[in-house]
A and B are shown apart, each in its own frame.
Chain A
Amino acid sequence: MESQLATILKKNESKILSQWVEEQKKLGSTRVSNEDLISQCTNFLRLLIEGLQKNKSFSIAGTGWDPIRRCLDEVSRARGLLGFSPSETATFVFSLKLPIFSLLRQEIADSAQLTEETWNATSLLDQLGLYTTEAYQRTREEIIARQQEEMLELSTPVVKLWDGILALPMIGTLDSSRTQVVMESLLQRIMETGSEIAIIDITGVPTVDTLVAQHLIKTVTAARLMGAECIISGIRPQIAATIVHLGVDLAGVTTKASLADAFHVALARSGRTVTKVGGARSEKLRETRV
């Protein structure tokens, strides 16, 4: 016997809709605005009925169910962005079971037919519910991939530490096209400010491989041609050991363990020193204490 599901749902569309929306509010879908919730539900229910009218099969894999899958893509996406969990997202579909099942009980007197139609509805809604978690997963993966890209592209500012002394604190991975851009902006700023010393601090760079080393060497060489000296600071012990094994030659480059050390060298090279206010007196104090 032909399934009556489409006909029964169509006849009671508005009744199901209001029960379904109520059901979801009870389950706490309050983060979605009332307006959005109603429009999502209305849309989904309409597509569900259309799908049932058009498709002979209750398997949602077929192209006949494309529109409803696309609707779920959007719902999952929106909920993923709002921070819903996968099960909260799937509740959108599963909460439709209660209104539909109680409706079927009212509408169908024959118990064999009731079982049959309930089974059809369950199977369909289960597939659609599972589909939302897949769609949700895809959205999350997109978000993660985008965030990773953004981390790669973090902008690195060139800061002026003193007259004639620039610093470039690098943070994050260096092997995107970003390195090129960052290094070029350093050279640009050296030219604009007529700086004589630039400190490139790599404390925040997790891995220094040959590509990173090559970028550093190129920048140091280019800066030198412009009459500026580069100091590379923030080379942690494990990075130093690795560079040695890698066989990369940084011999022609001034390196310092910390940015503070590098700044010290930079000041000395430009003929400056830093002293404590009242330095002489505190020295004396210390002496007398000893």
Chain B
Amino acid sequence: MQVTKTERFPIRVQSDVVVVRQKVRNWTIELGLSLIDQTKVITAASELARNTLEYGGGGEVELASLKNDIGKNGLRLIFEDQGPGIPDINLALTDGYTSGGGLGMGLSGSRRLMNEFNIESEVGKGTRVTVIKWK
């Protein structure tokens, strides 16, 4: 797998989430995703950016263009924070589980909206969520 381009953006305040959505929109268009796939990726980005801000206490996102071994193009998003971490990842991924009065559908929904989904988290250290959409 080959990374052809990357860019990072801060997620510190509410309006950063809006910026992240706009950037991700541009990247999905550049990748040539269908309108439905664009919307899926932007929505997942919105969920994960909001979690980074609300639960992770802020962090960063890295956008990356990918090309896999058979020449397929994709978009990878890595959301990273140095917040409290997630003690029970399976619980966090359960539909409807929320510790903050949300719908509890953000993480599990993002997993369904993307092709690849991975969470690394350590209590007291932080959380990193990596998602990929292939074209």
Instruction: Judge whether B18 and A246 touch: CB under 8 Å.
Output: no
Check if B47 sits within 8 Å of A241, measured CB to CB: no
Residue-wise interface mask of B (35-50) relative to A, using a CB-CB cutoff of 8 A (1 in contact, 0 not): 1101110110011001
Are B17 and A175 in contact (CB-based, < 8 A)?
yes
Structural contact, B36 and A214, CB atoms closer than 8 A: no
Residues of A within 8 A of B15 (CB): 145, 148-149, 152
The B97-133 residues at the A interface (CB cut-off 8 A) are: 102-103, 105-106, 108-109, 112-113
* Inter-chain contacts of B109 with A (CB < 8 A): 210, 245-248
- The answer to whether B2 has its CB under 8 Å from any CB of chain A is no
Count of CB-CB pairs between chains A and B under 8 Å: 73
Take A145-B15, A241-B40, A246-B112 as given contacts and tell me if A211 and B35 are in contact as well, using a CB distance cutoff of 8 Å: no
Query: B23 near A: Cβ within 8 Å?
Result: no
A210–B101 Cα distance when bound, in Å, is 12
**Cβ contacts A166-198/B at 8 Å (1 or 0 each):** 000000010110000000000000000000000
Neighbour of B36 across the interface among A149, A175, A237, CB < 8 A: A237
A residues in contact with B35, CB < 8 Å:
238
Q: Could you tell me the distance between the alpha carbons of A273 and B64 in the complex, rounded to whole angstroms?
A: 54
Known pairs A175-B17, A247-B95, A248-B105; A209 contacts B112 (CB<8 A): no
Is B68 in contact with chain A by the CB < 8 A criterion? no
* Interface membership of B21, Cβ < 8 A: yes
A-contacting residues, B1-53, CB 8 Å: 14-15, 17-19, 21, 25, 35-36, 38-40, 42-43, 46-47, 50
CB distance from A98 to the nearest CB of B (A): 42
A9 within 8 A of B: no
Q: Does A239 contact B (CB under 8 A)?
A: yes
Interface residues of A in 14-60 (CB under 8 A from B): none
Q: Which of B39-77 contact A (CB under 8 A)?
A: 39-40, 42-43, 46-47, 50
- Total A residues in contact with B, Cβ cutoff 8 Å: 24
Please tell me the size bucket of the interface on B. 20 to 34
- List, in ascending order, chain B residues with CB within 8 A of A248's CB: 103, 105, 109
Q: Given A173-B18, A208-B43, do A241 and B103 touch, yes or no (CB 8 Å)?
A: no
Residue of A nearest to B98 (CB): A210
Chain B: minimal CB distance from A170 (Å): 15
**A207 engages B21 (CB within 8 Å):** yes
Complex A-B: 11 CB contacts under 8 Å: A206-B21, A206-B25, A206-B42, A207-B21, A207-B39, A209-B106, A211-B46, A214-B102, A241-B36, A246-B112, A247-B109
9 A-B pairs with least C-beta separation: A246-B109, A238-B39, A209-B46, A238-B36, A210-B103, A245-B112, A210-B105, A242-B39, A238-B35
